[in-house]
Structure 1
Amino acid sequence: MNKPDIHGAGETGSSSGAAHGQQVTPDHDINNRLFFRLCQAANQYERTAHRELNISAIQGVVLGALSRYMPDGIAFSSFVDYIAVSRQNLDAVLKRLEKLGYVERVENRRDRRVRMVRLTPAGARAWETLGGRTVEFFRHAAAGISPEEKIAFTATLAKVTRNLRNLRMAGDGREDLRQEDGMQEGMGEEAGGEARRLDEGGDAGRVARG
């Protein structure tokens, strides 16, 4: 069984290409490591931001972005593209911030068909406080990284974002995934039963969870 390469980046020898009998090239391996690290960093960012700032990463991004569009706000459709999330996900985040009284959606004075998203006075005050802590948060998170490395990394992430935005793969892999899910359904139920037995097994259960 292959183990995560905790000193490198990503899973070694366990790529999707290898699973389908395809040759794993050095280029594929480094791509796999790159996106594993991106996912890992994003997850860690989310956890740490919630712990240290008492707000989710995406909520902080939304408040910070809206602070750039005060006082009128930004059209919802434009905001979706700016944040690079789905309409449904952004709507859920905005609803949470609306409940907190930090954000409101209003009609565009020039075109009532357009909904504008903007900070409320309470939201502006919250961001003023949070913004100061965010500066310190980012300073610690970027410790040991030179200005040149930050500039190069930012440019690289922008390229990756553009590539992902424009990516259109031939075919539809979702059907293959559904077929694999169906084949493994019985195995999953059996594994679930075994996991429950381990969980009920005292010390063995605690080791499994650890």
Structure 2
Amino acid sequence: MDDLPSWLLTQTAAQAGRLVAAEFAAEGARGYHYRLLRSLIDEGPASQADLGRRTGIHFSDVVASLNELTEGGWIARTPDPTDRRRNVVTITPTGLHRAEVLAARAAAVQDHLLAPLSPEERAAFVATLTKLLHHLRPHESEE
């Protein structure tokens, strides 16, 4: 089995997922929190539905995660002035700090995960994974 790239990717992804989950749990956070905060930083305020599409998180999980982020004071939800049926989600100043803390945790995981690789090998590995992902999700590379 260990000569099958799909098996190796699956096993590595499972280990990486556990590392990320443990690192974020130490901060009382989940991966969804970081993905949502990063999306708000990188792409700006959005509706809950748009955040789900941008992050690839199922709508019910988006709502639950946004509730947690709201309780922590890391985001704010306000009615959309153009459509009162929707909420616009924005990141707060404390949310920006929270994202920085989680980014440091994520960076620590990347360093641990890729420790056996040289900087050149890391760059090549990330480029190869990106190429594979774009191949498997061709519609995303067109957006």
> TM bucket by the smaller chain?
0.7 to 0.9
The reply on whether 1:123 has 2:95 as its aligned counterpart is: yes
SS in 2 for 1:47: helix
The reply on whether 1:159 has 2:131 as its aligned counterpart is: no
**Gap change, CA 1:36 and 1:147, over 3 Å in 2:** closer
> As a proportion of its length, which structure holds more strand?
2
TM-score by length of 2: 0.73
5 Å-filtered alignment, 1:63-78, equals 63-70=37-44, 73-78=45-50
Deviation by residue 1:135-156 (Cα, 9 ceiling, x = unmatched): 3432333331421121111221
Deviation by residue 1:57-97 (Cα, 9 ceiling, x = unmatched): 22122222222244xx1122111111112111111111111
Instruction: Provide the aligned length of Structure 1 versus Structure 2.
Output: 135
Which structure's CA Rg is the greater one?
Answer: 1
Q: Is the 8 A contact 1:45 1:57 kept in 2?
A: no
Runs of 5+ in structure 2 lacking a partner?
none
Distance of 1:123 and 1:44 partners within structure 2: 24
Q: CA deviation at 1:157?
A: 2.6
Q: Is the 8 A contact 1:69 1:118 kept in 2?
A: no
Distance of 1:158 and 1:41 partners within structure 2: 22
Distance of 1:30 and 1:132 partners within structure 2: 30
Which structure would you say has the larger RCO, counting Cα contacts within 8 Å and 6 or more residues apart? 2
Match of 1:112 in 2: 84
Letter aligned with residue 152 of structure 1: T
Instruction: Pick which of 41-50 and 87-96 moved more.
Output: 41-50
Runs of 5+ in structure 1 lacking a partner?
10-28, 166-210
Q: Is the 8 A contact 1:106 1:117 kept in 2?
A: yes
2:124 equivalent among 134, 148, 153: 148
SS in 1 for 2:29: coil
1:57 equivalent among 31, 35, 58: 31
SS in 2 for 1:55: coil
The reply on whether 1:103 has 2:79 as its aligned counterpart is: no
